Amino acid sequence: MPTAPAAIETDDSQPKSWLKDFLLTWVGRFGVFLAHHITRPLIPLYLLTFGASSTLIGAFMAVFTVIATGSRIPVGLLIDKIGRKPFLLYGIAVFCAGKLGYLWAPSIALMLPFRILHGLGWSGSTTAVSTISADIVPQARRGELMGYAGMASSLASALGPVVGFAIYYQFGFPGAFIGATIVLLLSFVVSLPVSEPERVTVAPHSSRWLDNIVIKQSLVPALGVAFLSFGHGGILTFLPIQALKIGFSNPGIWFGVYAACILLSRPIAGPISDRVSRRSVIVPGLVLNAVGIVVLAFSTTSTGLIWGAIIGGFGTGAAQPALMTVAVDQSNAAQRGQSLAQFQFCYDLGIGVGSLALGALLDLTNQSFLVMYLATAAVALIGVAIGWRTPDADVQISRFNVQG
């Protein structure tokens, strides 16, 4: 099994060598995800003002994911060859252009170029910041600290929709998009002082191009997160509409509760994955995610929706960072960007397919959220089966074979 070259691993006995950059990347990551989640639940409602159907909304949301997904692998390869930081900074800049463009476009068709910029910026910035975090953290605490790094996105997911709807109710859609752009600019400034760890380069390990693009060792956790994120595509896109229909006046509260539970799960699940095994966190987390979706399926009140957020939030918060940590465990340092790009490729693919397929399913079933969520739960169960096959061998390597 490949192990990371010593030149890029971090010595836990010298925390000052990594703590500053870890904190800066944490703040930068928080800002990128906060900007994304400020507008993420508002975009479907914005599209409704143009008369869009559920199918069109799902398709528009999927455009972002298709672009982000399609660019993940090339971005991962280039991040390993060129460096992490340029993609972080340029990604944030392109992300800003996409956010502002939504306001300038007078129709859904003319929003599409900015949706593409949004996807490209998201792909570059999130792949780069995740890889920098993985490079920085000490190997023996990888599961714990990757969980803490993920807390930046979880906290942003909690605050983003609440802040987004609050801005929307005060200043409308323009206020929300401009506010998100300001947050991105602050993230850009915070990311400027980040120091990249020394990179290790190796020659291609195979003459077959596919073997140098697909990281086979980390493919299982990537597939696992795809089945996890399939449900996220439908939930993130259509739950605001469902919530408003049943009288939940501020859907941002649901997203806040959901992400807060993700946040609370991280300090518990991360150390368990380091001390026991990754699988001991992944499988229960995937099961809870499926149960939370079933609860949403039968919810007819805001209370039911909140219970679905609590259960699903704890499940996602446990499973997703543990799956990402396995992707890091199973790849060497010279291909870490590529491995994480593959992981996020699958995550984005799940969201894109989910939002498109579940939007079409809603139209076919006369807007039956029950059918949509039950179909989502069935897909989530496939993810549970994949979770059972997640490798644990490299946890022992990272726990006992660390220098320092």
pLDDT band of residue 374 (cuts 50, 70, 90) is very high
Give CB contacts under 8 A, 24+ apart, made by 10-15: 10/135, 10/136, 10/137, 10/138, 10/139, 10/197, 11/138, 11/403, 11/404, 12/138, 12/139, 12/140, 12/141, 12/402, 12/404, 13/404, 14/404
Q: Give the model's pLDDT for residue 200.
A: 57
Among 32-41, 269-278, 320-329, top mean pLDDT goes to 32-41
Q: Give the model's pLDDT for residue 92.
A: 93
Distance CA 220, CA 215 (A): 10
pLDDT band of residue 76 (cuts 50, 70, 90) is confident
- Tell which residue, 390, 383, 396, has the closest CA to residue 350: 383
Determine the length of the chain: 404
Q: Can you tell me whether residue 288 is helix, strand or coil?
A: helix
Longest CA–CA separation in the chain, Å: 61
**Alpha carbon 254 to chain centroid distance?**
18
Q: Give the model's pLDDT for residue 36.
A: 92
* Pair of tokens at residue 105: 């476009």
Q: Which residue has the higher pLDDT, 100 or 273?
A: 100
Q: Which residue has the higher pLDDT, 309 or 404?
A: 309
Q: Give the model's pLDDT for residue 404.
A: 31
Report whether 341 contacts 68 (CB < 8 A).
no
Tell me the pLDDT tens digit for each residue of 137-188: 776 666 677 777 777 877 887 788 889 989 999 999 999 999 999 999 999 9
Q: Is 193 exposed, middle or buried (0-12, 13-18, 19+ CB in 10 A)?
A: exposed
Bridge partners, 10 (sequence order): 138
Q: Which domains does the chain carry?
A: 16-197+213-400 (1.20.1250.20)
Q: Can you tell me whether residue 277 is helix, strand or coil?
A: coil
Q: Give the model's pLDDT for residue 399.
A: 40
Distance CA 204, CA 333 (A): 13
Q: Can you tell me whether residue 176 is helix, strand or coil?
A: helix
* Pair of tokens at residue 283: 């499988």
The mean pLDDT of the chain is: 81
How close are the terminal C-alpha atoms of the chain, in Å? Answer: 22
Q: Can you tell me whether residue 138 is helix, strand or coil?
A: strand
Lowest mean pLDDT among 109-113, 277-281, 368-372: 277-281
Distance CA 345, CA 338 (A): 10
Tell me the pLDDT tens digit for each residue of 20-34: 888 898 999 999 999
Q: Which residue has the higher pLDDT, 142 or 126?
A: 126
- Residue 327 pLDDT more than 50? yes
Distance CA 142, CA 135 (A): 10
Q: Give the model's pLDDT for residue 348.
A: 77
Rg (CA), the chain: 20
Q: Give the model's pLDDT for residue 143.
A: 64
Distance CA 32, CA 53 (A): 29
pLDDT band of residue 396 (cuts 50, 70, 90) is very low
* Pair of tokens at residue 372: 């949509």
Determine if the pTM surpasses 0.85: no
Tell me the pLDDT tens digit for each residue of 4-19: 333 344 444 444 567 7
Which residue bears the tokens 């699988």? Answer: 279
